[in-house]
Structure 1
Amino acid sequence: MKILEANAGPLTNFEVFEFLRSKDAVKDPTLALLPNIASEYKVFEYLEKSGCKHLTREVINEFLEKCKSFKLSKAEMLNIINIMPKSAVELFPIIEACDTRDDDESTMLNALVAIVKEVLLAGTPSPPPVIEEIEVAHEENGVEADK
C-alpha cells in the first residue's frame, strides 16, 4: 500500500469507524492478541457503541451544508460531528469564543443543537428513559414507587 498524502488532516469518528470496519482484522476478536490489532479492536468497539455507527457521508455533508451560515472553524465542525452534542450546555465549550461572536449566543447554540438533532442524531436509537420519566409513567398508571 502506498501512502498518497501523509497527515492529510484530522478524521471524524465516522471516517475512523468506516476504515476499521473495512478491515477484516477487527471482525475477528481472536486476532486481537496482536499488539496493533488489539488497539484497533478496542477503538472499533468504542466507535461501534457511539453514535457514529449510524452516520453516512451524505448525513455529514448535509450537516456541513446546514452549518455554513454559522462560520464555524474546521476544528469546531469536527468536534460537533464527533461529539454530537444534544444540548447547548454540551455545545458551548466546543465553540471557541462563543459568547463574543456577532450572533446572539443562545440563538446560535439552540439552532446548532436543532441541526445536530435533526441531521446527525436522526438515525440513532433513542436512549432509555430517565428515572423521572419512569416515575411519571408509574404515577400515571397507578403504580407506587419504592421510596
Structure 2
Amino acid sequence: MKIKNPNAGALTNFEVLDFLRSRGASRDVSRVLAPVAASEYKVYDYLVETPACNLTREKINEFLERCKKYDLAKAELLNIINIRPSQTVEIYTIIEEMDSRFDMPIIEELVELVEEVLPPPPGQPNAEGGTDENEEENGEGEENNDENEAADEEEPETS
C-alpha cells in the first residue's frame, strides 16, 4: 500500500468504521476469512458500540452545514460528531473557551442540533422513547417467564 497524502486530515469514527466495513470487518463468526487484522477487529468492535455505528454521510454533511453559523474549529466539529454530546456540560469539554465565545441560549441550541441531526448511540433511547436492544431483551425475557409459569401450572402438586 502506498500512502498518497500523509496527514491529509483527521477522520471521524464513522469514516474509520466505514473503511473497516469495506475491508470486510463485521460481527460475523467467520472473521478469519476477511482480510482484516486482529487489531482492526478490536477497533471495529469498539466503534460499533459508539454513536458512529448509527451515522450516515448524509447526517454528517447536514450537521456540518447547519453548524457553519457557530464558527467552530474542525477539531471541535470532529469531536462533536464522534462523541455526540447530549447535554451542555458535555459540550463544555469539547469547545474551547465556551463561555467567552457563546451565550447560554446558543449552547443549548447547539446541543438541540446535535440531538436532532445526529442519531443516538446504541443502547440510548431513540425518538420513540425506547431502545431497540432493550425491547428485544425484554421481549425474550417475558416469553421465557410466561413459559416457566405455564410449566409450573402443569406440574402436579405432590404432598
Conserved 8 A contact 1:31-1:38? no
CA-to-aligned-CA distance 1:20-70 (integer Å, 9 cap, x gap) = 01002x3443369x9x81110010011111111111111001000111111
TM-score, normalised to structure 1, is 0.75
Q: Distance in 1 between matches of 2:121 and 2:45?
A: 19
Q: 1:124 to 1:41 in 2, by over 3 A?
A: closer
Conserved 8 A contact 2:85-2:111? yes
Aligned to 1:100: 100
Conserved 8 A contact 1:31-1:37? no
Alpha-carbon deviation of 1:6? Answer: 1.4
More helix by share: 1
Matches within 5 A, 1:41-120: 41-101=41-101, 103-104=102-103, 106-120=104-118
Q: 1:124 to 1:46 in 2, by over 3 A?
A: closer
User: Helix, strand or coil for the counterpart of 1:4?
Assistant: coil
The one-letter amino acid of 2:78's match is L
The one-letter amino acid of 2:114's match is V
Aligned length: 124
Q: 1:62 to 1:124 in 2, by over 3 A?
A: farther
Alpha-carbon deviation of 1:125? Answer: 6.2
| Identical residues among aligned pairs (%) | 52
User: What's the RMSD between the two structures over aligned residues?
Assistant: 2.5
TM-score, normalised to structure 2, is 0.69
Gaps of 5+ in 1: 130-147
Larger radius of gyration: 2
Aligned to 2:145: none
